Amino acid sequence: MSPFFRRGSGRVTPEQAHRLVADGQAVLLDVRETQEWNAGHAPGALHLPLTRLMAGAPLPTAVRGRRVVAICRSGNRSRTAADFLAAVGVEATDVTGGMTAWARQGLPVTGVNGSGGVIA
H or E stretch covering 86: helix 76-87
* pLDDT tens-digit map of 36-75: 999 999 999 999 999 999 999 999 999 989 999 999 999 9
- Are 33 and 120 a contacting pair, CB within 8 Å? no
Q: How many domains does the chain have?
A: 1
Select the more confidently predicted residue: 7 or 115. Answer: 115
Segments forming the whole domain that contains residue 90: 11-104
111, part of any domain: no
Say whether 72 is catalytic: yes
Q: Name the band, by pLDDT with cuts 50, 70 and 90, for residue 34.
A: very high
pLDDT at 8 over 90: no
CATH number of the domain that 56 lies in?
3.40.250.10
Mean pLDDT (whole number) for 72-92? 96
Nearest residue to 78 (alpha-carbon basis) of 97, 58, 65: 97
Give the global pTM. Answer: 0.91
For the sheet with 11-12, list strands across it: 11-12, 92-95, 68-71, 27-30, 46-47
Question: Active-site residue among 71, 72, 82, 95?
Answer: 72
